[in-house]
Each structure stands twice: as C-alpha cells, then as structure tokens.
Amino acid sequence: MVSITLTIESDLENVSLVGISINALAQHFGMSESCADDVEICVVEGINNVIEHAYIHDPGKTVAIIVESNSTNLYIKIKDSGISMGKLTEPEIDVDLENINTLPEGGFGLYIIHNLMDSVQYGSVDGTNTLSMTKRIDSTTKS
C-alpha cells in the first residue's frame, strides 16, 4: 500500500492545487484519465465543503488529504477539525433539469461525490472529521 498526505490551509485558492495533484496521482496508480477526472472533482468538492461549511471560510485552518492506493483501489480521506456535518446520508436532488433557471447555485457536492465514487463514508472522532472515499482503479464512471 502506498500512502501520500497533502496538507493545505483552508483557503479556496489552494483547492485547485490539490485537485491537480490528486488527478496526477490517480493516473499514476493506473486510473483512466476520465476516472481520475471524476476523483479530482470529488476531492475538490469535499475540500470546498470543509472550507465553506466546517471552517466557515476561516483561513489558516488545516485540511489534510490522505491518498492511499493498492493494486485495486484508491482510498482518499479528507480530514479537518471544523464543525462536523453530523451523519452522512446519501443526498437526493429534486430539481427540474429541464429548466436550468430553477437550479440552485449550490448543494450538489455530496450528490456528485456519492454518484462518482464507489464508497463514501463520514465520521467525526475526538474533534477530527473524516470524509472517506474509495474508487476502484479499474472502474469507469458510475452510471
């Protein structure tokens, strides 16, 4: 098992750097470019949620991204010490996709994560929140 930890401050300007890194790592570990793009989207959404909701845009806080890989799976954990989001449930989106004018500006992050990753879990222990995501290396985008 290979393990790499990336740590950033809670500033939205840092998120794209992690996204680029995650994409490159996913491809290095054998994922297709398309699948690596999906993983990048999920990590970016997860970190954005930490900065916006757990830290409420408070700069200088730490966000840790742990990437682990074996021959079959890529495991990613996003850790923070902000406000816990409580119990994670698979979100449902109830919108009229035919009328883009009625689409909400946000609120799709967890929905996207649940639909692109193979496994998603969330927990909070001793003040540390962890969003855990798994993607099979040989998998393609979930349909």
Confidence of residue 143 (pLDDT cuts 50, 70, 90): very low
**Mean pLDDT over the full length of the chain:** 88
pLDDT value at residue 142: 44
88 pLDDT above the threshold of 90: no
pTM, rounded to two decimals: 0.85
- What are the structural domain ranges in the chain? 2-136
pLDDT value at residue 35: 95
List, for residues 72-85, the tens digit of each pLDDT value: 999 999 999 999 98
Residues 6+ apart with CB under 8 A from 11: 51, 59
CA separation, residue 49 to residues 12, 25, 129 (Å): 10, 22, 12
CATH architecture of 2-136: 2-Layer Sandwich (3.30)
List, for residues 20-47, the tens digit of each pLDDT value: 999 999 999 999 999 999 999 999 999 9
